[in-house]
Amino acid sequence: MDMRKLAAELFGTFWLVLAVLGTAMLAAGVPNVGVGWIGVSFAAGLAVLTMAYAVGGISGGHFNPAVSLGLAVAGRFDWKDLIGYWIAQIIGAAVAGLVVYIVASSVTGFTPGGFGANGYAEHSPAGVSMLGGLIAEIVLTGMFLIVILGATSKAAPAGFAPLAIGLCLTVVHLIGIPITNASVNPARSIASAIFASGDSGAWAQIWLFIVGPLVGGALGAVIWRYLLSPGESPANIGQVK
C-alpha cells in the first residue's frame, strides 16, 4: 500500500469532517451571524471540492468509506486497498472530531449533545422513522456515487469532476440534513458518535449510518456499471480528473 495515498485520504477526510462538524458545532447556530444548515451543506461540498483538487491526484479523492466501496464495486478501485483506505478515513475523521471538540470545549457553557451526530426517530431533525432514514441514506449515497462515477468517467469533460462532486455533496446535504443530519459517510458518523454525549443516542443508531451509506454506495456503483455505462473500461481507477 502506498503510504502517500493513505496520507492523502487521511488529510482529505480530516478536512471534510472538520468542515462539516466545525461548521455545525461552531458556526451554524451563532446568533445573528450563524450560517445554519445551508451553511453546513456548502461547507461539506466546498471541502470535498478543494481536497479533490489538492490530493485527488494522489489517492483518487475518496474521503468516505462508502465512496471507496462503490469505486471498488464499479471496478475503479482495487479491492485489496479497501481496508487501508477505510482505516485512514476513519482516523482522519476522528482527529477532525477531536479538533472540533477541543475548540468547542473552550466556549463557555459548551455541552457536546449529539455533536452533529446522525439520527432517526426522536434524533432526526424532522422525526423521520428508521425506515425513512435508511432509505434516505441509501438513495442519497447512491446518487452521490453515480455523480462521482459519471464525472470521473472518460466521457466526462476533463478537469471538472471536483466541481460536480462538490456541488452534488452540497445538494445531498441540503436534502439530508433535515432528515438525518446527512451522513452518507460512515467515517463522519463515527467521528460524531465518538464525541457525542452518552444520552444522545449516537452509538445506538450508528449502525444505520454505516450500513445505509455502504449499501447506497454499492448500489450506485452497480447502477452506473451495469445500466448507465455498460462495458466502461475500469482503466481510470477512481482518479479525479
Q: What is the pLDDT of residues 26-85, one digit of tens each?
A: 987 777 667 898 999 999 999 999 999 999 999 999 999 999 999 999 999 999 999 999
The C-alpha atoms of residue 24 and residue 16 are separated, in whole angstroms, by: 12
Q: Which CATH class is domain 3-228?
A: mainly alpha
Contacts of 2 (CB under 8 A, 6+ apart): none
Question: What is the C-alpha to C-alpha distance for residues 222 and 226, in angstroms, rounded to an integer?
Answer: 6
186-to-2, 133, 140, 211, 228 alpha-carbon distances in Å: 23, 14, 13, 8, 26
Name the grid cell of 105. 470545549
The Cα–Cα gap between 4 and 12 comes to 12
* Highest-confidence segment of 55-69, 104-118, 150-164: 55-69
Sign of CA dihedral 164, 34, 120, 107: positive
Most confident segment among 31-40, 151-160, 169-178:
169-178
pLDDT digit string, tens, across residues 199-234: 778 999 999 999 999 999 999 999 999 999 866 645
Q: Any idea where the domains of the chain sit in the sequence? A: 3-228
